[in-house]
């Protein structure tokens, strides 16, 4: 019962956030709408006992949307709103068509029977973080560490690309 009520409240909130993210005239409200959607999805994770994923969702995406805010304030300016002139005339009808396709897809997928795996033993409701930790740091330790290394290399590469100019031998382009 609780799950159903939560689903309806936050499902509506998620859709409202997603629509206002695209619809809002002011980019700050777009960022807020995105955050509302992310937060509602985190609530779904909680109601499916994925507490760890929910917490990480809020931490990561709340931080990400925060940077969007800063981008908006610093790049677009404080009180400019977006113009609504539509240069690509076909995109609104195309959006409606795609929405129809999506709804059809959801309906078809929802009417089909789904094969799901059996429940893992030991994955009890109040132990998600222990299970995630166990998997990450025992069973899949090496892939996890390799992924971390890859991400660090990618971050360092991004900084190098942005920071060092071509032909700058010393690399102290501050």
- The site for other proteins (CB under 8 A) is made up of 26, 28-29, 32, 35, 51-52, 54-56, 58-59, 62-63, 66, 69-70, 73, 78-79, 126-130, 133-134
**In this structure, are residues 36 and 13 in contact, taking their beta carbons and an 8 Å threshold?**
yes
Q: In the bound complex, what is the minimum distance in angstroms from residue 133's beta carbon to other proteins?
A: 6
Three-state DSSP string of the chain: CHHHHHHHHHHHHHHHHHHHHHHCCCHHHHHHHHHHHHHHHHHHHHHCCCHHHHHHHHHHHHHHHHHHHHHHHHHHCCCCCCCCCCCCCCHHHHHHHHHHHHHHHHHHHHHCCCCCCCCCCCCCHHHHHHHHHHHHHHHCHHHHHHHHHHHHHHHHHHHHHHHCCCCCCCCCCC
Q: In the bound complex, what is the minimum distance in angstroms from residue 31's beta carbon to other proteins?
A: 10
Dig out the tokens for 127 from the structure. Answer: 């132990």
Q: In the bound complex, what is the minimum distance in angstroms from residue 88's beta carbon to other proteins?
A: 29
Q: In the bound complex, what is the minimum distance in angstroms from residue 166's beta carbon to other proteins?
A: 28
Q: In the bound complex, what is the minimum distance in angstroms from residue 67's beta carbon to other proteins?
A: 8
Q: Which is nearer to other proteins, 81 or 91 (CB)?
A: 81
Q: Which is nearer to other proteins, 59 or 160 (CB)?
A: 59
Q: Which is nearer to other proteins, 64 or 104 (CB)?
A: 64
User: How many residues appear in the chain?
Assistant: 174
Q: Which is nearer to other proteins, 6 or 58 (CB)?
A: 58
Q: Which is nearer to other proteins, 12 or 62 (CB)?
A: 62
């Amino acid at each position: 019962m609780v799950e159903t009520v939560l689903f309806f409240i936050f499902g509506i909130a998620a859709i409202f956030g997603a629509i206002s993210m695209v619809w809002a005239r002011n980019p700050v409200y777009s960022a807020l709408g995105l955050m509302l959607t992310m937060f509602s999805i985190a609530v779904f994770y909680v109601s499916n006992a994925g507490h760890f994923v929910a917490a990480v969702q809020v931490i990561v995406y709340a931080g990400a949307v925060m940077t969007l805010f800063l981008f908006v304030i610093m790049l677009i300016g404080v009180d400019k709103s977006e113009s609504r002139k539509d240069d690509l005339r076909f995109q609104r009808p195309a959006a409606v068509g795609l929405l129809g396709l999506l709804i059809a897809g959801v309906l078809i997928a929802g009417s089909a029977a789904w094969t799901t795996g059996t429940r893992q033993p030991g994955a009890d409701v109040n132990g998600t973080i222990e299970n995630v930790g166990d998997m990450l740091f025992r069973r899949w330790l090496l892939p996890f560490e390799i992924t971390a290394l890859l991400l660090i290399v990618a971050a360092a590469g991004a900084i190098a690309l942005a920071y060092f100019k071509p032909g700058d031998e010393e690399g102290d382009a501050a």
